[in-house]
Amino acid sequence: MKKAPGRTSQLQFPCANCGALQLYAPGTDLLRCPYCRHETPIPDSDLVIEEYSFRDALRKLNKARPLEGAAANTTQIVNCEACGASFAFDQDVHSGLCPYCSTPIVLGTEHKTFKPKSVLPFRITEEQAKQEFRRWLQRLWFAPGRLAKLARGDNRLNGVYVPYWTYDSDTDTRYRGERGKYYQVRERYTSYVKGRRVMRTRTVTKVRWTPVQGTVSRFFDDVLVGAARTLPRKITDRIAPWDLDGLLPYQEEYLSGFASQIYQVELDEGFDRAREIMDQVIRSDVARDIGGDAQRIHALDTRHRDTKFKHLLLPVWSAGFHYRDKDYVFVVNGRTGKVAGERPYSGWKILFTGLLAAAMIAGILVWYARQQDELDVSPADWPPPVETYRPY
């Protein structure tokens, strides 16, 4: 490992055999030279992955924010040792490739308050990610036929380590609500059969509500929140789950040859999102605790204790494609190959399917009407229906 000269701290990993810069090989613990294929093992780290006090970190964050605000407008100047070019890295990126010679460069994160302490290395290669993307395209409903050409194409994917926060929290929640108990009553109503008025009887389900209150407790472990804004959260959330048991202590070698982003979502903002995720689970816990056949929740008061966090990097293959004057983004989980993304729809396929479904429904209705016309049933012979109404 060699620290390259320049105004920004940067690391490079030259090959001991030919001197070229080595890249991390996904699915291994090796750096591999792209030219002579020489491999160098990544040394085991003796660091332990720790979780840190959220309360203590907020104090540190409040002290550091004025400095970060001043540094936010500075540019990271990078000097490439391979070709001698000087260029600027985006302030939210701390590893990537030289735009002139594609030399892999890993920067330090000295200007951020919290540095990544763990990383989940890439497991699948770019070619494997492309295969998963092609399968995903082939499974899309109502996709334009031209996407088949894209599936057969050789579009390059970008391997990027995306920053995340995880939060642990021990919670107690006091609640007020109502427990509902179903009961049934019989009622008579008027109906018409072939133009004749008849009286029928049906069973109606109603709810008897009782006020309740109580407390539920739950410990949350590793609630995951994305800390980048460059990829839509609605997409990145869909490539979960992540095997966080495979996390390793942060080492720059795993970033060589890949882009890596610095968090843009601050620690406290991430916890706000984590609380939203926790609240959904807590509401389910409260509903179970209320019991009965139906539940109403009127008030929740949640207290968080011993909240801890981790800052980590997760591997994502990402790319986009252009179709009919619009750009679409997709991502591939760098561990499992799960794909999620934006996609175009074929208007004529949707229209054709809708017309076909409408024709089938019309045919069924015509057949049913004819069947009813053939029946000659008197009110006395007609069995009383049983109808059950469920509350929302």
Q: Which stretches does DSSP call E strand in 52-195?
A: 52-53, 76-79, 86-89, 93-97, 104-107, 118-119, 158-193
Task: Give the pTM.
Answer: 0.76
Residue ranges per structural domain of the chain: 45-74+111-171+215-347
Peptide bond into 241 cis (omega under 30): yes
Query: Does the CA dihedral 171-176-182-188 come out positive or negative?
Result: negative
Q: Strand pairing partners for 326?
A: 323
Mean pLDDT for back-to-back runs of 10 residues, the chain (392 residues):
50 89 95 95 93 91 56 50 49 57 58 84 94 79 57 74 96 98 92 82 93 98 93 89 96 92 92 97 97 97 97 92 72 94 58 68 74 51 45 42
Rounded Cα gap, residues 78 and 108, in angstroms: 11
Looking at residue 317, its amino acid is W
Place of tokens 């951020």: 112
* Dist. CA 299–CA 310, nearest whole Å: 31
Q: How much is the pLDDT for 65? A: 58
Element (H, E) at 65: helix 54-71
Kindly provide the b/e burial profile for residues 223-249, where b requires at least 16 CB atoms within 10 angstroms of the residue's own CB. Answer: bbbbbbebbeeebbeebeebebeebbe
Residue 177 · residue 209 · CB < 8 Å:
no
Query: What is residue 69's predicted lDDT score, i.e. its pLDDT?
Result: 41
Instruction: Report the DSSP pairing between strands 10-12 and 104-107.
Output: antiparallel
- Taking each helix axis from N to C end, the angle separating 267-290 and 54-71, rounded to the nearest 10 degrees, works out to 150
Three-state DSSP at 271 gives: helix
